[in-house]
């Protein structure tokens, strides 16, 4: 059952590769950014998965509950930061795409490439 027990990690690996594939294979800049977001979110999932302790609750110490099990809060805090980083990257990427559209009139990679070739 170990294979199924690691099911979150499988989702992580598959989502990571889907995102990475989109980044590499798609010529549309928006689709590339979408791929990048999936790619980053997969990593967030990995962090969140590793902090989960079976039967664990929120890390709040309660009076009268001596050996309480709680999940590790640190990865969640880290990922909160990483999400902010991811949002800023996506926002900046979209801003660049808007300016590319304004100056080139296209968001297709090959059309932008061709527009800059000396004719």
Partner 1 sequence: MNLTEQLVALQIVVPLLSAPVVALLRPRWLAWAATTAASATAFAIAIAIALGVREGRAFGYQMGSWPAPYGIELAVDPFSAVLLLIITGASTFALLGGRLSVDTQIEQQRQPLFYAAWLLGLAGLAGIAASADAFNIFVFMEISSLASYVLIAGGPDRRALPSVFKYLIMGTVGATFYLIGVGLIYMMTGTLNLADMELRIHEVGDQSPILVAAGFITVGLALKAAVFPLHAWLPNAYTYAPHAVTVFLAACATKVALYILLRFDFVVFQQNLIGHDVKFSYFLMPLAVLAILVASGMAAFERNLKRLLAYSSVAQIGYIMLGASLVNHAGLTASIVHIFNHSLAKGTLFLAVACLAMRLDSLRLDGIAGAARNMPWTMAAFVVGGLSLIGIPGTAGFISKWYLIAAVLGEGPLGFLLVAAIVISSLLAVVYVWRVVETAYFQSPPDGAVPAREAPPEMLILTWTAALLNVYFGFASDLPLSLSSAASALLMGHLP
In angstroms, the CA 71 to CA 56 distance is: 5
Separation of alpha carbons 105 and 84, rounded Å: 30
User: According to CB under 8 A, which residues from 37 to 66 bind partner 1?
Assistant: 39-40, 43, 46-47, 50
Q: Does 71 bind partner 1 (CB under 8 A)?
A: no
- What mask, x for binding partner 1 by CB under 8 A, covers residues 94 to 113? --xx-xx--xx----x--xx
Q: To the nearest whole angstrom, how small is the minimum distance from the Cβ of residue 10 to partner 1?
A: 15
Contact between 37 and 23 under an 8 Å Cβ cutoff? The reply is: no
- What is the per-residue binding string for partner 1 in 20-39, x denoting contact by CB under 8 A? x--x-----x--x---x--x
Residue whose pair of structure tokens reads 């990257």 in the numeric block: 89
């Amino acid at each position: 059952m170990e294979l199924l027990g690691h099911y979150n990690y499988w989702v992580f690996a598959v989502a990571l590769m889907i995102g990475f594939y989109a980044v590499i294979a798609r010529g549309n800049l928006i689709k590339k950014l979408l791929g990048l977001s999936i790619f980053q979110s997969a990593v967030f999932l990995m962090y969140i998965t590793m902090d989960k302790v079976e039967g664990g609750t929120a890390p709040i110490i309660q009076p009268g509950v001596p050996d309480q099990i709680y999940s590790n809060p640190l990865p969640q805090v880290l990922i909160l930061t990483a999400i902010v980083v991811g949002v800023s990257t996506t926002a900046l990427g979209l801003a660049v795409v808007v300016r590319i559209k304004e100056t080139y009139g296209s968001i297709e990679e090959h059309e932008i490439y061709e527009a800059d070739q000396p004719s």
